[in-house]
Chain A
Amino acid sequence: MKSARLPGLRSIRLALGAVREHSGAPGAELYVKAGNTCRIEIDPWMTPVTTDPDDLQAQVSVLDERGWALRAGGARRALFLADSGPLPGPSGWRRVNRHSLRPGALRLPSPSSDTTPRTTPSPAADAGEPPPDDEETAGLAFLRDLLRCLGERMPEARLVRGRLDSGASAAVLASTTGVTGRSARRLATVELDFAISRDGRQTHCSLYRAASNLHLLGADSIAGEIAERLTLATAPPPPFLPTGEVAVSPALACNLLALLAPLLRGRDGWRRLRKLGAGQPLGPPQLQIVDDGALDAGWMSAASDDEGVPTRAVALVRDGEPGEPLLSWEDDGWSGYAAAGCRRRSGWRALPELCHSHLYIAGASEPAESIRSGIVHGCYLLDRAHDGRCQATFEPSTNGGERRPEEGRFEVDAIGLVIRRGAIVGEAPKVRLTGSLRQLLRGIRAIGDDLRFLPAPGAVGAPTLLLTGLQVEAVG
């Protein structure tokens, strides 16, 4: 997205002046966002992967999106107004008047004194905008490559559904308190659903991957992941499932970390995280959990969040102990902790909300391969089972159910391998991994060096983990 398409700060300040004049609001903030996306969708025709790539029923959409959001008001009356299209000129704000403000409060951040917002877009966004036709050509080529690579590995697989989004967006904001911010990012995501019928067993697998650039998605590696998952999902269940050690791949570890996300943000999350530790360390000394809105080369990387507050790395868990909470500017100074830019909007229509940007378990020095090969008798779990459970409960049920002494449990259905003395001795097409959230962190015995990010809301990253003390049982 070319930043020239966005209004300059002077235009926004003029608009803010007009809003204050017409509405009498003491404070106001304007957020403007523009973006474009090339989307390629494959219709659900159960396309065999060996089909002629030119016969793909590809539906192409080229989307231009732009809109703005206004927050105006004071301590007693406020307004939130969002609209599509370009920002109105100063005379276009007459419709916002004193009657537009309704009971409610508006609070806006003040400019930070200790940090200067960097206005440089992330490196990914700096790379320039390829023409939409190029994106379409590259997207179709990626899908064809993917089908070819998968066809070579697993010719009986069928593409059920596919969707590839590749685009760029840029945003600018300014408020009457003097806060300004700019951000720009590029992102390519692919959602794939494949099915297979083998030895009378039918199954399918879904994959959702993202990269800051379409060319970084890697058709061959994704095809490999799909083939691996389909092979496992169609395997017969093992006669015996060892429950001692469980190694989880980065993909599954990301899902487990995402389940913990409510404990890792805000004041309430911090209280629960401390309670989870109950005065003891949360995990091993090498455990570091970080949220970093300014992560180098991250998909969501930006100098400031969607309210113009500078982002930074926040060590949520440091050396296995609670580090510092992820707090927005409204909670700055709570319990002596500093805030970070962490309020994001899901789009121009949305208000900013406290959320993670790059939440990850930092990789350690142990090679992931040595973790897998070091399993004496256990499982290596590869990913979530497509149609299985993946949930965590944080409070005892208020509507019945047993009350448990420890706070929070999780259960995740996964696919994986049975390992004995480092060698694969069988497949586990569907197992259920369960346990307490406390044990999930405390039972981490090794952390690999293969940190990888997956798209969740935001980006969630984790390396291979070796877990102990959890329950594993066969399902189905």
Chain B
Amino acid sequence: MRSNANGAEQRRRLISDVAAPADALTRLVAHGDQQFEAFFERVESVELLPKGAPNRVRLRKEQGLAIRKIENGRSRLAAADTISGPAFAACCDRVAGTARSIGTAPPRIRTGRWPALRLAEIEQAESRLTRAVNRRRVGFPMEITARRHRRQIQVIRSPIAAPPQFEEYFSLQAKTPWGVWGGLLPSLADEDLDPIALCLVDRLRSRGLPPHRGGAGVIVLGPNAAAVLLHEVVAHALEADTLALSGAPDQAVGLKLGGPELDVVDDPSSAPRVCKRSSDDEGTAVISRWLLRRGRVRQPLADLAWAERCPGMIPGAARRASRHRLPGPRTSHLELLPGAIPEGDLFAEAAGGIYIGEFDSGSLDPLNGRCVLRAPCGRRIGASGPVDHTGPIEIRSRAADLLAAVTAVADRPLAAGAGWCAKDGALMPVWARCPSIRLEGLQVAD
């Protein structure tokens, strides 16, 4: 058993020997204020398009490295699209500004094997999702595009090498005559496809309905919708670079953003099994970070650079879209801790309001704090829970008002709201675990 585990570990290693590049990085340091970091990355994406599409199977692989010098809060990065000793040495020369900065001989860097290409599970995605829809006694035409994403990284910040990280997840796009659904999944198993089938059936039943126009009222957000809301108004709002747009990031600590029922944590180590992380994209160990504790800001998301500028901040939330981008503080896996109210009671006290199961997009303007959330459909809440369907719903509000409107948190959290975050044009997968929540007194715009 142990040898099997070791074998799997070996296969997941991006580079077989970290000592040589770590040793080379130590030779770059000219004085104590300088830090050097090597980032090795390997990415694979397999895409299966609907039947009849040209080049239906699309396989993209890439690997490369980046060397970064951090000095007095400034970064200098050099990246290359290959992993080799000469490429490593050339990047070191570029950040150091001298030739032969690590000596005459480049370090020997050997890469491990790519993981095996398994296409069968992707090929079964369409039939599995169709079966999940049919189990709800409906059927409609769908064009399914399924993708599997894999990413291996290895960070060495001289002289320490962080544990190698491996992520594997799936993305799915279902095109129907009345719209497109897209999202991320930790696997293509039935239990992960069932919630998507539910979303698709809800969209089927709300097709052709006019946009919902309503005034202030009660809104119950399902776990998926609650996750998107918290991603925009808590996670993004508490990223150090976003906070810096309106003042010193550490001054946000202690601010009251919501009621005492709001306990929000960012914890990359408790993400779905195939995506969990023990260290971030700078090689810093991740922590379970209280973003909001009883509604107050506790610990904003920070990377090394922001932690250096704001001594109260803890690094460990750095993410980079690729080796060609500098790292920045980002959320990975957001959790809203459950409240004490059974989910049924949220609806019992919300009769006459609106239930929103999912938002298909959300955005936050970091400078004025305005947030826009769009749902493809919703349901009116009757005496016994969600009843008849409505058309699209758009919520426009200030982030602070949205959080202040949360009056109840249900007791049953679910893995939900996984999707792509596109802040600053850098596409990154984000995960969440949330219960349903109730909001009161919000304006719903058309």
Contact = CB atoms under 8 A, between A and B. Distances in A.
Given A85-B82, A351-B58, A400-B392, 10 more contacts: A66-B81, A71-B55, A81-B61, A83-B62, A84-B82, A85-B62, A104-B56, A202-B367, A399-B179, A400-B211
A58 to B, nearest CB: 7
Contacts, number: 137
Contacts of A79: 55, 57, 59
14 contacts: A41-B326, A59-B326, A61-B326, A63-B78, A66-B81, A67-B62, A79-B59, A82-B62, A85-B81, A104-B55, A104-B57, A160-B245, A160-B367, A400-B211
Given A65-B81, A400-B210, A44 B244 contact: yes
Instruction: Among A81, A105, A400, find the residue whose CB has the most chain B CB atoms closer than 10 A.
Output: A400
Nearest to A133: B97
B55 A85 contact: no
Contact of B61 (A43, A84, A204): A84
B interface residue count range (under 10 / 10 to 19 / 20 to 34 / 35 or more): 35 or more
A60 B94 CA distance: 11
B208 A84 contact: no
Given A62-B78, A84-B82, A399-B179, A103 B51 contact: yes
Interface in A106-147: 106-107, 132
Contacts of B56: 78, 102-104
Nearest to B210: A400
Contacts of A365: none
A349 interface: yes
B173 to A, nearest CB: 16
Interface in A36-86: 41, 43-46, 57-67, 71, 73, 78-86
A421 B10 CA distance: 77
Contacts of B60: 81-83, 349
A370 interface: no
B401 interface: no
A86 B80 CA distance: 11
B61 A65 contact: no
Given A85-B63, A398-B208, A102 B57 contact: yes
A371 interface: no
A195 interface: yes
A401 interface: yes
A399 B391 contact: yes
B368 to A, nearest CB: 7
In the A-B complex, the 8 residue pairs with the closest CB atoms = A104-B56, A400-B210, A84-B62, A84-B81, A102-B57, A80-B55, A85-B82, A61-B77
B78 A61 contact: yes
A202 B244 CA distance: 16
A46 to B, nearest CB: 7
Interface of B: 49, 51, 53-64, 73-82, 94, 119, 177-179, 206-211, 241-242, 244-246, 305, 324-326, 365, 367-368, 370, 376, 391-392
B55 A400 contact: no
Given A46-B244, A103-B51, A160-B367, A61 B209 contact: no
A185 to B, nearest CB: 18
Nearest to B48: A102
Given A103-B56, A399-B209, A45 B244 contact: yes
A61 B324 contact: yes
A105 B54 contact: yes
B112 to A, nearest CB: 16
A195 B392 CA distance: 34
A93 to B, nearest CB: 14
What does DSSP make chain B's interface, helix, strand, loop or mixed? loop
Contacts of B368: 202, 387
A63 B61 contact: no
Nearest to B370: A387
Interface of A: 41, 43-46, 57-67, 71, 73, 78-86, 102-107, 132, 160-161, 195, 202, 204, 349, 351, 387, 398-401
Given A60-B76, A64-B80, A81 B178 contact: no
Contacts of A41: 326
Given A195-B367, A399-B391, A400-B209, A62 B57 contact: no
B202 to A, nearest CB: 13
A401 B81 contact: no
A417 to B, nearest CB: 24
Contact of A349 (B62, B244, B367, B391): B62
Contact of B207 (A45, A64, A398): A398
A160 B75 CA distance: 18
B178 A398 contact: yes
A44 B81 contact: no
Contacts of A204: 367
A301 B64 CA distance: 30
Nearest to B123: A102
A43 B241 contact: yes
A80 B62 contact: no
B195 to A, nearest CB: 21
B208 A399 contact: yes
Contact of A78 (B54, B73, B77, B179): B54
B55 to A, nearest CB: 4
A63 B324 contact: yes
Contacts of A81: 59-61
A46 B54 CA distance: 48
Given A62-B94, A105-B54, A57 B74 contact: yes
A44 B245 CA distance: 6
A59 B75 contact: yes
Pick the most buried of B53, B54, B73, B179: most chain A CB atoms within 10 A of its CB.
Answer: B54
A102 B177 CA distance: 27
B64 A104 contact: no
Contacts of A85: 62-64, 81-82
A278 B261 CA distance: 59
Nearest to B81: A84
Contacts of B324: 61, 63, 65
A86 B82 contact: yes
B358 to A, nearest CB: 15
A59 B391 CA distance: 46
Contacts of B305: 43
B210 to A, nearest CB: 4
A62 B368 CA distance: 33
Contacts of A399: 178-179, 206-209, 376, 391-392
Nearest to A34: B81
Contacts of A65: 79, 81, 324
Given A398-B208, A399-B179, A80 B58 contact: yes
A51 B73 CA distance: 17
A83 B208 contact: no
B115 to A, nearest CB: 14
Contacts of B74: 57-59
B359 to A, nearest CB: 15
A363 B289 CA distance: 57
Contacts of A401: 210-211
Contacts of A64: 78-81
Nearest to A107: B54
Contacts of B391: 399-400
A46 B245 contact: yes
A62 B242 CA distance: 25
A107 B53 CA distance: 12
A281 B81 CA distance: 51
A202 B73 CA distance: 28
Given A43-B241, A65-B324, A351 B55 contact: yes
Contacts of B177: 398
Report which residue of B77, B119, B376 has the largest number of chain A beta carbons within 10 angstroms of its beta carbon. Answer: B77
Contacts of B81: 64-67, 84-85
A59 B305 CA distance: 11
A420 B80 CA distance: 57
Scoring B77, B81, B368 by chain A CB atoms within 10 A of each residue's CB, the highest score goes to B81
A44 B208 contact: no
Contacts of A202: 367-368
Contacts of B79: 61-65
